[in-house]
Amino acid sequence: MGRTADAIAEGVAIATSAARLAVKNHILVGTIAEDGVFDTEKYIADTREALRAMAEEAEESEKALNALRKRARGRHSDPVGTHDYRDRDVRNLKRRAKQSHGVAAKLREMMEDPEELGVIVEEARKAAWADVRHNLDRRLKVEGMRPDQDPDYERMREARMQALRLVDLQALSSEQRAKEKRRKKQQKAAEKESAKASKGASKGD
């Protein structure tokens, strides 16, 4: 591969990684915060939009570089700033514009490829699961559970993972405490009202 091809491949790899991260976060939010289910089609659409945004960014970069190249052509004086390009920079600017064009073209090609989109979604799903497993392991260690002391730990691990459905244990615990606090408050209010009603009935007698 040549220098330009290498730069394009690197740019596409960075964009793909960013898309994967964005979709991973969508999966975590959608399944934890919004208590949803894993919808492959939805996350494929999210992936397509993430790639579209980065393709548009690369296209804007290409336009900006072409404008700088045109302005730099024929200028031979000393530059007064980092981005004050001169004629000697034209070749480099042209190459960078070509690289941006190549990245955008590849990303738009990926947007229309169901297989490519599916791969990114699957990688994002695995990354989301890895985050949850890490969180679960950390929580278990904090709470004193040692896997090597539990003979059923490995056998039941995947079952626990499935049951948790990507739930963040710390967030869930906080939510449960809040619910319990609200329940006790409501119960206390109900008991107070009941006591008032009983007292009123006694006076009436």
Task: Give dist(CA 136, CA 145) in Å, integer.
Answer: 11
Give the mean pLDDT of the chain.
Answer: 79
pLDDT tens-digit readout, 156-205: 555 555 445 444 444 545 555 666 777 778 877 777 776 666 555 555 55
Average pLDDT of the residues in 141-148 = 54
Q: Which residues does 129 contact at the CB level (< 8 Å), separation at least 6?
A: 161, 166
pLDDT of residue 163: 46
- The answer to the question of residue 89 being in a domain is yes
Asked whether residue 183 is assigned to any structural domain, the reply reads no
Mean pLDDT over residues 104-110, rounded? 97
Is the predicted pLDDT of residue 33 greater than 70, yes or no? Answer: no
Domain membership of residue 181 (yes or no) is no
Residue 73 pLDDT > 60: yes
* In the predicted structure, residue 121 carries a pLDDT above the cut 70: yes
Dist. CA 65–CA 98, nearest whole Å: 9
Predicted local distance difference test score (pLDDT) of residue 165 = 46
Query: pTM for the full model?
Result: 0.64
Q: Which domain holds residue 14?
A: 3-164
* Residue 46 exposure: Cα atoms within 13 Å on the Cβ side: 23
Greater confidence (120 vs 205) lies with 120
Best CA proximity match to 75, nearest among 89, 63, 64: 89
Read off the pLDDT of each residue in 75-81 and give the average, rounded to a whole number.
Answer: 81
In a domain, residue 119? The reply is yes
Q: What is the CA radius of gyration of the chain?
A: 29
Residue 94 — pLDDT band, cuts 50, 70, 90? very high
pLDDT, average across residues 22-27:
91
Q: Is there a domain that residue 201 lies in?
A: no
- Does 81 fall in a domain? yes
Burial 151-178 (b: 16+ CB within 10 A, else e): eeeeeeeeeeeeebebbbbeeeeeeeee
State the pLDDT at residue 188: 78
Task: Tell me what the mean pLDDT of segment 126-130 comes to.
Answer: 88
Provide the domain count of the chain: 1
- Is 118 a member of any domain? yes
**Residue 170: what pLDDT?**
46
Looking at the domain assignment, is residue 170 inside a domain?
no
The pLDDT value given to residue 131: 84
